[in-house]
Structure 1
Amino acid sequence: MKMKKLVALAVAGMLCLGMSVTAFAADSVTPEDAGAVAVDKDGNTITITASDLNAEAQEVVDKWEADPETLKADVEKAVEGTNITLKENAEYAVIGAFEYEGDLTPGSEITFDVSAMLPNGLEEGQTLYLMHGMPDGSWVLVETTVKDGKATAQLDSLSPIAFVLASDGTPIVNPNPPVDPVDPADPNADDSITVDELVNLIVDRLKANNVTVNRTVVSSRVSPKTGE
């Protein structure tokens, strides 16, 4: 395994062991992981099925995943006219998005399984927003709270639903960042890394999670081939 890949794994491991890092995991969750159950206002069970998003909704979610600022703008637009108070200077990320179907009636209560949407799970009592797609292409914001890996909300209808996590200003980061591949056939490929570069990776991630860091600067470069 190349040195850069080892470094990325080392950084991810250190951070996962040392703190709670919010991970973006929308693409790793399947409909089977995100089931839901519902009851009407009289307590009768309503069958709910989850499936992949339709093409139109998927296009919107793809934009949100590619550009968090677009997601933030749409969340702020959707909150207008509601009694929901968004977190100040929040960062947002979609951690799951699916199409839900079921014969809901007004006042129905639906409980979503959100336990698999982050590798380390969602925190008890954590706020989660549901972006609820409407037939006219608009999105309605619903606020819910995580309890025992579930999120419950009152809805009158079902459609595409994106589960949106908000931080209190701390960037929502991926603990497994992509690493540029090194072509082993390229004799000029440099897959070494300085200690400073490694430390910088760790320090930047710690600072992103509001951890105070004191460091001593060193400088050396290690080759994975020679060890020097």
Structure 2
Amino acid sequence: MSYIINTKQNQDGSFSPTTIENPNELEQLVNHGSRLIGVLQVIENEVVNSTNRLNQAVRTNENVIQRYWNTENDRQWIYHNEVNKYNDLMSKQNNLLEKINYPEIKLWRFKNLLYFRTNSGQLIIDNHIEIQKELSSRYGADVNIVNDINDVLRNNNQYRVNTIFVAINNIIIVEEEVFDNNQSFEIFNTYNGVWKRNLLAFTRFNKKRIPR
């Protein structure tokens, strides 16, 4: 019995029959083809698996990158929000200090003590609560004296709409107390930018005698 198998390809693309007389040869050929198909199937499966793993890795990386940018965007939003809150607090504080200290300085620090001169001439020394009450009653807002504006940002319970925070480190520092008959203000600034306090008693007589 003979077997005819198209195995030889001609130049025109057609196949010429090849006759196999021995059935064992056919069986070997079939087995070889089966093994070849099996190998190709393994290769195909490996390619599919590799492709799936690659796609999974790409998706994982894309998710990681997306999470990074989401986190970065959140961080930038938080940062700018904190900056805006800080600038708002500083603006309110500076505006209040300008009102307090115009036309002359009424709120200052000296040797780690806080001083406030009321409009009536009373001097409140290092009593933060009394100074806060005086300022709040005069300037139409709750005034709180704090160590630093950043402390307010860290404590959200302090941050309120109708509250003005004044940081101690932003209050004028008086370096020296002197007696000066030529100065018309209690707190004055020297030519080199140093603030001093004139201890001359500002009685009614002195105020009339010393021109302002």
TM-score, normalised via structure 2 length = 0.23
- Larger RCO: Structure 1 or Structure 2 (Cα < 8 Å, ≥ 6 residues apart)? 1
Higher helix share: 2
TM-score, normalised via structure 1 length = 0.22
